[in-house]
Amino acid sequence: MADARSEPITAVPILRPSLALLRPFRRDLAIALSTLLGSLACVLGGPALVSYAINHGLVHHHDARVIEVAGILYLCLALGFFFFSRIQTRMLSGTGELILNELRKRVFRHLLAQPLAFFDSESSAQLLSRMTADIDVLESLVQSGIGSFLTSVGLFFTSLIVLVVMSPVLFGVTVICLIPVTLAAARYRVTSTRAYTLVRHRIGDTLATLDEGLAGVRVVQAFRQEPRLERQFGVRNKEQLEATLETARLSARFFPLVEGSGVLSAAALLLLGGVFVHLGLTSVGAVAAFVLYTTNLFAAVQSVSQLFDLLQSSGAALGTVFALLGVEPAMQDPQHPVALPRHGALELDHVGFAYPPRAHDGKEHTAAPSALVDVNLLIAPGEHLVLVGPTGAGKSTLAKLIGRLYDPTEGEVRFGGVPLASATIAELRRRVVVVPQEGFLFRGSVLDNIKMGNGEATESEVLAVLARLGIDRHLLSLQGGLHGDVGERGSRLSAGERQLVSLARAALADPAVLVLDEATSSLDPGTELEVEHAVSVLGANRTTVTVAHRLTTAERADRIAVVADGRIVELGSHAELMALGGSYAALFSAWSAGALNATR
């Protein structure tokens, strides 16, 4: 079902989606571009004024007034430039930030809409971590690069045109000096891109080593692995340094060449210009203006080359972001959804499932073995079914299919006779609620977290639910009561309290089917009892499927399904399975003997 997810997501062409993204901002962008033209006109006007002042105020007749007026006009041009580029920078970065804001929102919304299978594939996990880096690159482009890039490109082309029009012969001199710069720029583009990409990879490696070392610091210290990690980090750090030094070497070769060529061409122009003036082919002012325009031209080349790496990485970043946005969620609402009944039997009809293959190094795929094979099961309304079996048998997978966190690769899961895939996802989530092993809490108050089960519930309704579950006193006694902050991922609560909150959340949602993945972590006996009681109240008159890790849970269930190697190998009540004398009976006897030994 989710084959597309397992492919490494590669960048896509960015022109069309970029234009679509820019469309709503076209008015602001048009204003920004027209101010760009204004600032360009101011820059280009400078040398023309200088030329006029030289020719009319100095060379032909000494007229101080012409020079004064030219000076004042030059000042006006400078103010004009200041004004236009201020608006341009404000508009471009403001609009750029709005666009990034929109992009971040779209990416987040898009990710939340993806089914679990999307997050299983390795390439998407990589993509997620890269996403932050990609958006960061775009951020720096918006903040520092885009305005100067556009100005420099504009300046380059307009200077070229002005130079050709002014004197094609002198322009020839500029072109001769520009040729080595252009060749070097083309080479620099390739080598610097390679070098900067290497730097980014090396930074990633260094960070990964740092991250792993810090995350596993206890193991590192316990097994005295500090020297090994230090060595490893030293190697990575050195590699990063070498890569960075290479970019510095490339810059040290290229940028002085651009500057040197600029100076050289100015000198050549002055020399040849002098001869031209002597021959009466041109004026002193024109030569001066020519030199100034050429200087602009070389400055523009330098600035574009400096920004090139940023631009190229921004292009790549946008490509991956658009590629991600182009991934259609594999699990979508059907075109003609069928309503689910309020109550009904759960039916698994020849259900088979294999997880999407994992990508290795983003290239090869190894086919995943089937996690479930030909599972048939009919769970009556209100029945309590418990899934037991060894680790990796397929119990959690079965529970996830019932909650439609995944779609089966074969067969069908039905509720009240309606295939789960025919209902809308929203309606399905109202009928079937999956409570995972670890109650995941979000930042906010206890009440906020419980109300995720039903946003419309009032505080007194929440209190009534808590009282029914018998956990109101416990939760109200927490610091700050129901309005107390749970901390990041609920870190201010104990594991047992997090479970109580997540059970209360499920109770408030009041689903017809509850899928519980029993927590493996042991709690203190008091909280354990509270959780058990809350679970039994929650399960009363409700179809409950529990992935059990404790056989006491199995003992209390209506029926037990023993899962092994993705198949249901035994099915029946505790008494029936004990009488059968199969694997459940063996498991139970071993467990009772163990429990007996433990109490002795």
- Binding positions for ligand ADP, rule: CB under 6 A: 120, 355, 368, 371, 389, 391-397
User: Which CB sits closer to ligand ADP, 4 or 100?
Assistant: 4
Q: In angstroms, give the least distance from the CB of 5 to ligand ADP.
A: 11
CB closer to ligand ADP out of 395 and 431: 395
Q: Least distance (Å) from ligand ADP to the CB of residue 325? A: 24
395 or 574, CB closer to ligand ADP? 395
Question: From the CB of 382, what's the least distance to ligand ADP, in Å?
Answer: 24
Q: 397 vs 502, which CB is nearer to ligand ADP?
A: 397
CB 501 within 8 Å of CB 449: yes
CB nearer ligand ADP, residue 36 or residue 547: 547
Report in angstroms how near the CB of residue 355 gets to ligand ADP at its nearest: 3
CA distance 278 to 266: 18
**Alpha-carbon span 407 to 546, nearest angstrom:** 19
DSSP 8-state code for residue 57: I
CB nearer to ligand ADP: give 84 or 355. 355
Among candidate residues 36, 42, 167, the one with its CA nearest the CA of residue 89: 36
Strands across the sheet containing 410-415: 370-379, 346-354, 410-415, 418-419
Nearest alpha carbon to residue 420 among 316, 324, 513, 483: 513
Residue closer to ligand ADP by CB (options 400, 414) is: 400
Query: What is the Cα Rg of the chain in Å?
Result: 35
Residue closer to ligand ADP (CB basis): 391 or 460: 391
Instruction: Provide, rounded to whole angstroms, the least separation between the CB of residue 489 and ligand ADP.
Output: 20
Pick 258 or 402: Cβ nearer ligand ADP: 402
Min separation Cβ 549 and ligand ADP, Å? 9
Per the structure block, which two tokens stand in for 401? 């299919």
Residue 173 has, within 13 A of its CA and on its CB side, a CA count of 23
Residue whose C-alpha is closest to residue 36's, from 97, 98, 90: 90
Helix (H) or strand (E) holding 386: strand 384-388
Using CA atoms, how far apart are residues 182 and 89, in angstroms rounded to an integer? 28
* Between 391 and 458, CB nearer to ligand ADP: 391
Cα–Cα distances (Å) from 44 to 41, 160, 175, 300, 569, in that order, read 5, 11, 19, 13, 84
Shortest distance, position 114 Cβ to ligand ADP, whole Å: 14
DSSP string, 283-346: -HHHHHHHHHHHHHHHHHHHHHHHHHHHHHHHHHHHHHHHHHHTPPPSS---SSPPPPPSS--E
Note the Cα 464 to chain centre separation in Å: 40
Question: Minimum CB separation from ligand ADP for residue 392, in Å?
Answer: 4
Question: What's the min distance (Å) between Cβ of 81 and ligand ADP?
Answer: 58
Find the shortest distance in angstroms from Cβ 406 to ligand ADP: 9
How many CA atoms lie within 13 Å of 565's alpha carbon, on the beta-carbon side?
1
Please say which residue, 199 or 393, places its beta carbon nearer to ligand ADP: 393
Cβ 518 to ligand ADP, closest distance in Å?
11
C-beta of 326: minimal distance to ligand ADP in Å?
24
The residue (of 492 and 549) whose beta carbon lies closer to ligand ADP is: 549
What b-and-e string marks burial along 367-389, b requiring 16 or more CB atoms within 10 Å of the CB? Answer: eeebbbbebebebebebbbbbbb
Please name which of 516, 507, 508, 502 lies closest in space to residue 538, comparing C-alpha atoms: 507
Buried/exposed code over 198-228 (b: 16+ C-beta within 10 A; e: otherwise) = bbeebeebbeebeeebeeeeeebeeeeeeee
- DSSP for 84-104, written as a single string: HHHHHHHHHHHHHHHHHHHHH
Pick from 418, 447, 449, 450: nearest CA to 431: 418
